[in-house]
């Protein structure tokens, strides 16, 4: 796998936003649902949606957790093999400074390839000519899958190992990308 353009979502793939939002809401409201159960319950997510959006608008949200130490290793190995990494996120442009800081501190390559405010990721995937794009949300994978290879992956922070696995039974980002390219 050489000279490929690899696009990655941040929240849910590299950063545990869902875990952070769940933790904040659980502390505020004292509910008993675990992480997986909370996000699997559409009514609860809809009920807390305004608060989830507020958490997403707070720049402090994006520097709470460290990246899985395995991810920079995998990404730097991919770059050493001649690949280019792009980060495509729905995070607003006002989060650029904290996002760049977090990526730099995390040791991931190609921070200059950060694309913020991209709620519709298929057009940017097409514009960049990505060979593969990885996201944690099914509807994004379906949309981007119309223009390039799109894969679903959940970060290690999303509860037990079984939930981490993609639809192909893959449990690591490097394994997922390597298998598909």
- Tell me the domains of the chain and their CATH numbers: 5-15+67-180 (3.40.50.1000), 17-62 (no CATH)
pLDDT tens per residue, the chain (181 residues)?
689 999 999 998 888 888 899 999 999 999 998 887 888 787 778 899 999 999 999 999 988 888 888 888 889 988 999 999 999 999 999 999 999 999 999 999 999 999 999 889 999 999 999 999 999 888 898 999 999 988 877 664 433 343 344 444 445 666 656 655 5
Cβ neighbours for 31, distance < 8 A, ≥ 6 positions apart: 25, 38, 44
Task: Please count the other Cβ atoms lying within 10 Å of the Cβ belonging to residue 54.
Answer: 13
Considering the entire predicted model, what is its pTM?
Answer: 0.83
């Amino acid at each position: 796998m050489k000279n490929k353009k690899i696009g990655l979502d941040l929240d849910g793939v590299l950063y545990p936003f869902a875990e952070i939002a769940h933790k904040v809401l659980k502390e505020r409201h004292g509910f008993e649902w675990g992480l997986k159960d909370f996000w699997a319950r559409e009514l609860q997510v809809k009920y807390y949606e305004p608060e989830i959006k507020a958490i997403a608008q707070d720049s402090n949200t994006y520097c709470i957790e460290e990246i899985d130490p395995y991810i920079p290793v995998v990404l730097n190995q991919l770059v050493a093999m001649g690949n280019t990494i792009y980060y495509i996120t729905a995070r607003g442009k006002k989060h650029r400074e904290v996002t760049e800081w977090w990526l730099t501190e995390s040791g991931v390559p190609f921070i200059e390839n950060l694309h913020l405010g991209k709620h519709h990721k298929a057009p940017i995937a097409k514009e960049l000519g990505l060979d593969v794009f990885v996201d944690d949300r099914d509807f994004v994978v379906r949309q981007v899958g119309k223009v390039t290879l799109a894969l679903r992956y959940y970060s290690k922070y999303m509860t037990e190992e079984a939930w981490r696995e993609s639809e192909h039974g893959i449990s690591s980002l490097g394994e997922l990308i390597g298998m598909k390219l």
